[in-house]
Amino acid sequence: MTDSYETEPSRPADSARAEEGVGEKIRPYSRLALVVAGLAAVVALLSVLSGFGSRWGLWHFRTGFTLLEWAAYGAVAVMVLALPALWFARPGGSRRGFPLALLALLVSLPVFLVPWTWQNRVAEVPPIHDISTDLEDPPEFQAVAPLREDAPNPVEHPGEEVAQLQREAYPDIQPLILDEPLEASSHRALDVAAELGWQVVAFDPPGGRLEATDRTFWFGFRDDVVVRVTETEEGTRVDIRSKSRVGRSDVGTNARRIRSFLDRLARL
């Protein structure tokens, strides 16, 4: 007598899975989505380096402005191409790459908006770069003056024409009155300068004087600041003047710097 048994038949699920694997195809990437993503990376890098290259001394700041301008043009091209790329690589379509095209669109948007915003701001503010809380007797630069010898913008205040433009554009730029002794106000001003990251060039507490240099983050433009503290019947009066070394228009930077300093000084 011989033993007999049946072999177990293969499971239908395994067979179905095998057939499914044979017919499954991975969707290829959309070439347009890949091109758009690559262009977005280039314009973003160009935009970032336009400013930092100037800050690091790799090229003149005017070259940096030119690079930033071309990066903005490139960003517009990327945004235009990103729209059909999103369609061709849409979910459920025959091509992949929708996230890449979407990322390219999102990256190129600020590359265009930053210089566009700057251009609008230039049109809104006067073409001046010397701002002071005292336009009748602007605080004078002394210790900082030798540092500006090669600067295109002279150390002297431009005069009444610029003062009138400031009055019209920045009527809120006014001296600050503090109810404390002169030296205490001077030290308070020094503390605020340190908070703002200024490089202090000279500090004379009894004389109520502070001179410093500030540097913009992206292009690294150097602007100089002088703070003058004087005694009054009400306490002490704090005047501040901020002046750019280069450029005709500061795009409102010096006014913003003065506002920030006075706001912090009043709250300290």
* The pLDDT of residue 12: 52
Q: Read off the pLDDT of residues 154-196 as tens digits, 9 standing for 90 and up.
A: 999 999 999 999 999 999 999 999 999 999 999 999 999 999 9
Residue range(s) occupied by CATH 3.30.530.50 in the chain: 130-267
Q: What does residue 69 show for φ and ψ, rounded to 5 degrees? A: -65, -45
The DSSP code sequence of 21-76 is HHH--PPPBPHHHHHHHHHHHHHHHHHHHHHHHHHTTSS-HHHHHHHHHHHHHHHH
pLDDT at 18 over 90: no
| Measured CA angle at 211 (ends 263, 183), to 5 deg | 70
CB 86 within 8 A of CB 51: no
Q: CATH fold of 130-267, please?
A: Alpha-D-Glucose-1,6-Bisphosphate; Chain A, domain 4 (3.30.530)
* 102 Cβ neighbours under 8 A, 6+ residues apart: 82, 86
Lookup: tokens for 185? 């106000």
Q: Is 223 exposed, middle or buried (0-12, 13-18, 19+ CB in 10 A)?
A: buried
Q: Give the mean pLDDT of 130-144.
A: 97
Specify the DSSP class assigned to residue 111. Answer: H
pLDDT band at 2 (very low <50, low <70, confident <90, very high): very low
The whole-angstrom separation of Cα 113 and Cα 141 is 36
Alpha helices, DSSP H only, in the chain? 12-23, 31-55, 61-88, 98-124, 160-169, 182-195, 253-267
